[in-house]
Structure 1
Amino acid sequence: MTVLVFGGSSQIGHYLLPLLAARGESVVAVSRAARSPSPGIAWLPGQLPSQVPALAGVSAVFSFGPLQPFADWLRDVELPHAPRVIATSSMSAETKRDSEVPAERAISQQLRDGENALASACAQHGSDWTVLRPTLVYGAGLDKSLTPIARRAMRTRVFPLPAGRGMRQPVHAQDLALAALAALDTSTAASKILSIGGGERLSAGEMFARVRRSLPVDTLPIPIPAWCLRLARRGVGRLRGPLSRLEADLIADNAEVMQLLGVNPRPFRPDVECWQPHPLG
């Protein structure tokens, strides 16, 4: 039987694929770009929702990309063995639900619609499913949140430190991979949407300060006071959402994921390896 992975080249896939291979699973990872085979991993060129060759004997499917195209593929494909389905969404489904920015409210709605579409498609196949809703993800140098900030600071030797009292709970991509693998083996996690954050809550300001301290070069800290952020929020439309969230708590309750999956995410202690690219295949 085959384990099929969409998003194998993502930051979560970077950690999950070796775990699956170490278990002796027959793993096929789908990628838009051609990739060389890696030990225990076969790469299949394809793109959701329709440009994915048919595979026989699929026992489990992981997806770490956009939910709606995956749900559309799942709805239309033949999967006679009712594979177990594990997918990631985002805590933005909740944290952006009441955003003052219409585009962010739309993102929240799209995520929740994708979750519902996934559940419906799984019901067609008689497949059990679990959705993980992570907070801000880091760890493999592939995220679009903290890694760009860290790399820019290493290049310019300047690190802006915005004031921010909102609480954050960054979660390492490896901990998400461990949670996804545990969900595969845990029947009581079926039909559940599980929030998951890191093992520590800290202010946004402290999160940025720790990123700065993790860098291998000296950088000049530039504190950005709250009044300056308020001005930018009013004057620059594209910054209104991100700046308003600096005062909002973007956290997750890990109680259920810890109880069901036995996963204990690590606290936020980044090092320089978190900001280095980790290419696959």
Structure 2
Amino acid sequence: MKNILLFGGTTETGKFISKQFKNHFSNTKLFSFSRKKNQGIFLNLKSINFPEQLKNKEQTLIISLAPIWLIVPFLEKYLEQVNENNILGLIITSSTSTITKKYAWNEFDKKLSKKLSFWENRLFELKKLHNLDLTLLRPTLIYGDIGKKQDNNLSFLLEFMRKSLILPIPKDTGLRQPIHYSQLGESILFLAKRYKSHKFIKKKLNIINIGGDDEITYYEMINRIKNSLPTSDPVKRCFIIKIPNRFFFLISLPFLIFKPKFFAALERISINMNGFKKASQISKKIKRSFPVNLNIENISDVK
């Protein structure tokens, strides 16, 4: 394998892969593409103009962290113009929302699930058309470094806790399996190395629903976030109050009328979203507890 094409290179997972790349590969070039100018190789996935780095004729692995609804139509155009025999395989990320939001009652979640499912099916058709090896990764609840702005999934919750003295939650909360961007990156790097060693040779389809190593309740997740922050952080002043589930949803009913999307998010607090493949089972790294803190860990540790 001579080249790896990385789409979504400026995501936190993409940055992690780029930093760790030399520790995993020799004699392989990494080309990192991004829609952000001056960060990696600029590429608009909606464009039909391909940068020179995409026109190589050597053995190549494609990794995508870009939205699946953007990367699939791009690949449909790209694979028509290259020799498919040079493509070792595809590692594409989607989301567990394909399955967890399939039976949601609100339109936003239903549309998201349908959208993801539609483009996943288009990807499967593309795999068959070009006889490619495909690994589809569906991560759940990706989070960044706690307390930093790059974390989109937990930042809203943290901001609320910093501004409020209390955080009411249902007494019985569902299970979660949050995955740190570095755990996802380690898993992708491990899978990529298997392509380099030609262990993927059957042109098969692998679908992996992946989460972190801990399966914890929503309450425990919030509590661990709070305990992981410095004593000076305003989050420390916020008290987490458990109230009976029926009463919690009763007082939340106004959101059903005025902010149905937000009400759906509150409703999911009591729903289990776990049972996915654990990151350490894929990456073969040591198990890491939530929340992962790269500042105090040696990410090169292996089982």
Partner amino acid for 2:291?
A: R
2:31 to 24, 28, 31: 28
Contact 2:106 2:261 in 1 (8 A): no
The alpha carbon displacement at 1:49 in A equals 3.1
Deviation, 1:268, is: 1.4
User: 1:6-155 to 2 correspondence within 5 Å?
Assistant: 6-22=7-23, 23-24=25-26, 25-35=28-38, 43-50=40-47, 52-53=50-51, 54-56=54-56, 57=58, 59-77=60-78, 78-80=81-83, 81-140=86-145, 141=148, 142-151=150-159, 153-154=161-162
Structure 2 counterpart of 1:162, one-letter code: I
Q: Deviations over 1:234-258 (max 9, x none)?
A: 3432322101111111113327x76
> How many residues align structurally?
266
Letter in 2 for 1:268: F
Task: Tell me how far 1:157 sits from its aligned partner.
Answer: 6.8
How much is the aligned-residue C-alpha RMSD, in angstroms?
2.7
1:161-220 CA distance string (max 9 Å, x none): 523511111111111111112222334594111011111111111111111111222322
Give the aligned partner of residue 167 of structure 2.
160
CA offset at residue 152 of structure 1? 5.2
Gap regions ≥5 residues in structure 2: 297-303
Q: How does 1:178-257 map to 2 (within 5 A)?
A: 178-186=186-194, 187-188=199-200, 190-216=204-230, 217=233, 218-223=236-241, 225=243, 226=245, 227-233=247-253, 234-235=256-257, 236-254=259-277
CA distance in structure 1 between the partners assigned to 2:160 and 2:292 by the alignment? 16
Distance in 1 between residues matched to 2:179 and 2:252, nearest whole Å = 28
Q: Normalising by the residue count of structure 1, what TM-score does the alignment of the two structures yield?
A: 0.83
For the residue of structure 1 that corresponds to 2:252, the secondary structure is helix
CA contact (8 A) 1:175 1:265 kept: no
SS of the counterpart of 1:268? Answer: coil
Matches of 1:265 and 1:111, distance apart in 2: 29
Q: CA deviation at 1:117?
A: 1.5
Whole-Å Cα distance in 1 between the matches of residues 130 and 139 of structure 2? 26
Q: Unmatched 5+ residue regions in structure 1?
A: 37-42, 275-281
Deviation at residue 159 of structure 1 after TM alignment: 6.0
How many angstroms does 1:263 deviate by?
5.4
Q: In the alignment, is the contact (CA less than 8 A) between 1:172 and 1:265 conserved in 2? A: no
Give the AA of the match of 2:241: P
Secondary structure in structure 2 of the residue aligned to 1:145: helix
1:249 to 1:33, Cα distance in 2 relative to 1, 3 A = same
More relative contact order in 1 or in 2 (CA 8 Å, sep 6+)? 1
| Pair 271,178 (structure 1): closer, same or farther in 2 beyond 3 Å | closer
**Alpha-carbon distance change, 271 to 259 in structure 1, aligned in 2, over 3 angstroms:** closer
Instruction: Determine what percentage of the aligned residue pairs are the same residue.
Output: 23
In the superposition, relative to structure 1, how do residues 243 and 260 fare at CA in structure 2: closer, same or farther (>3 Å)? closer
Structure with max Cα Rg: 2
Partners of 1:30 and 1:17 in 2: CA distance? 11
Superimposed CA distance per residue, residues 19-76 of structure 1 (whole angstroms, 9 cap, x where no aligned partner)? 223323311111112225xxxxxx2111213254243136011111211211111111
